[in-house]
Amino acid sequence: MNYKISHPTKIVNCDIELPASKSLSNRLLIIQALCNTDFKIDNLSDSYDTKYLQRALISDKNTIDVGHAGTTFRFLTSYLSSQNNTELVLTGSDRMKERPIKGLVNALRGMGSKIDYLEKEGFPPLKITGGKLEGGKIEIDGEISSQFITSILLIAPILKKGIELHINKEIVSRTYIEMTLALMKEFGIDSHWKDNIISIEPQSYTAKRYKLESDWSSASFWFEIAALSNSCEIKLNGLKEDSIQGDKKNIAIFNKLGVDSSFEEGVLILKKNQNIHANKSYDLLNTPDIYQSLRCTLFGLNIKSKFLGLSTLKDKETNRIIAVDNELEKLTSSKIIDTYKDHRMAMSFAPCCLRFGELQINDVEVVNKSYPKFWKDLKKAGFIISVLSH
């Protein structure tokens, strides 16, 4: 389905219930599965990725297909390897089969895991034969994906020897690893991180009821809307001021792009100001998920800046650097935006209608991957959305 989207006034006033954090939800589901005692999760994400992970964790099928849910695939690779008496195939979409998994598989094999490639070496699908893993001293590259590291850390407490994880090369998305360890600590797991070594002794997760906070990555699209609007008062519910999510960095970045942020009684309020002092360069090594919304914001404000730390973006749902460049060119010509089966492409380009007039966004269902109510929320904010055929 395709949408035409516009905003008649460029004045945005709304009260939005942001979706629960997909990143925290997926980590929490693995913790729940590894915990000896069940516990209740409140406000679990209703995103595509989280639903696929939920289904996979209770599946009794010989083949688990997670579509294009990358986090789900990576977390399941370690989890299933650690489970006794399991033998199954883990697969996904055509795009998933292009996304490298070799670094994670090599590390798991080093712990004693039995994993075979069924098609192309180093890529999904995988045949996984689960069993009791040793753990111990393991090496992994930090420059490919922080999700490889998180995937291993989540199962570390149940390994015979725990883990001493040596991370080689530059660590990308470090804040996501910090988030993983912080969440594990809330469930009783102690860890030690010094230099490039993370150590976790054999331990047991402690069950407790947990309410998930909203998603700071999803908030980035509202920061973009605030920056591109003529004026606004946007109230975002469910975020924590002391959040363990790295994308809280939105506040500092967009403050220099004309957006004031303040917490009032647990609600984050965004207001427009005219003080723009953009950075000459942005290093997003630790927060790559906000690249698209920030790049589109800068383009809409006619600001040129350099970007650093984007090495992981070529292996996301699409090559995000190329995709964004392609579609930005269309904002001043055809105004028909393709989304490349990437949820963040749709959500980053939709706000651009505040500066470039009515746009067509193709394949709008892609937002279901992380923010299923995105289009409904845009309507609350005064955007006019009309449905087109495919």
Q: Which active-site residues does the annotation give?
A: 289
- Looking only at the bridges linking them, the beta strands covering 136-141 and 163-168 are parallel
Residue type, 62: N
- Looking only at the bridges linking them, the beta strands covering 87-91 and 126-129 are antiparallel
Nearest to 343 by CA among 375, 365, 313: 365
Residue type, 304: K
Rounded Cα distance, 296 and 209, in Å: 39
Structure tokens at 47: 């995103």
Rounded Cα distance, 147 and 255, in Å: 29
Greatest Cα pair distance in the chain: 61
DSSP 339: -
C-beta separation of 126 from 77 below 8 A? yes
Structure tokens at 334: 């055809």
C-beta separation of 30 from 183 below 8 A? no
C-beta separation of 14 from 381 below 8 A? yes
What are the strands, taking DSSP E only, across 160-227? Answer: 163-168, 192-194, 197-200, 210-211
Helix (H, G, I), strand (E, B) or coil at 55: helix
CA distances from 119 to 77, 114, 317, 363 (A): 16, 16, 20, 29
Query: Which residues are CB-contacts of 283 (< 8 A; sequence separation ≥ 6)?
Result: 307, 308, 309
C-beta separation of 23 from 176 below 8 A? yes
**Chain centroid to CA 220: how far?**
12
Helix (H, G, I), strand (E, B) or coil at 268: strand
